[in-house]
Chains A and B, each alone.
Chain A
Amino acid sequence: DTGVSQNPRHKITKRGQNVTFRCDPISEHNRLYWYRQTLGQGPEFLTYFQNEAQLEKSRLLSDRFSAERPKGSFSTLEIQRTEQGDSAMYLCASSPTGSIGLYGYTFGSGTRLTVV
């Protein structure tokens, strides 16, 4: 297990199209997170899974965004009817149970979305 894997690395899509990203976390980690990051900003929390249960979703997230984590393994993030404002780096992270401050997130390298 070499870390958190995200696919694709880059995605260019036309406004109005749907896109789906995949994240494969570290296999021993039961927590999974999606973040969004724009240039020059810190990561912005989107959603959090404990195993297969989605326990929190940011209030900033519109209903065009949906995430799943079937069977508590990999996760997908779908954006419907993309808008130019959705252009960002989408980061997935995983962590073991326990203090997140101590153990930290392990981030993937992200999927860079460009909406044209």
Chain B
Amino acid sequence: QQQVKQSPQSLIVQKGGISIINCAYENTAFDYFPWYQQFPGKGPALLIAIRPDVSEKKEGRFTISFNKSAKQFSLHIMDSQPGDSATYFCAASRNYQLIWGAGTKLIIKP
């Protein structure tokens, strides 16, 4: 049973543009909603996380927007750079476990 749905599966953005990845969840018992970034041949790395009582969190060029009533959250990457090309996973945490989205492969074109 997939509890976190992520879209799109892949995304191509021009350098300098805004990359937007969306996720939706089904369970209201989650306590944090993190985003992970994964480069080829590496394990995922925590990028940014938000609590469900906060509507937006920004760290540098990365922003999470959170809509509790719609059970949706999204990652925005401003001024996207070729070095941002990676696979991005949204997740929802409950106790010690993460429920993962299926991932979005992001390609930033120079």
- A interface with B by C-beta (< 8 Å): 4, 31, 33, 40-43, 45, 48, 50, 56, 91, 93, 95, 99-102, 104-110
Q: Tell me the count of chain B residues lying within 8 A, CB to CB, of chain A.
A: 27
- A32 and B36 CA atoms in complex are apart in Å by 18
Which of B31, B32, B46, B51 contacts A105 (CB under 8 A)? B46
- List residues of B whose CB falls within 8 A of some A CB: 30-34, 36, 41-46, 49, 51, 89, 91-93, 95-98, 100-103, 105
Assess whether A104 is in contact with B46, with CB atoms less than 8 Å apart.
yes
**A residues in contact with B101, CB < 8 Å:** 42
Q: Which residues of A contact B92 (CB under 8 A)?
A: 101
A107 and B93 within 8 A (CB): no
Q: How far is the CB of A15 from chain B (nearest CB, A)?
A: 25
With the chains together, A72 CA to B91 CA distance in Å?
Answer: 27
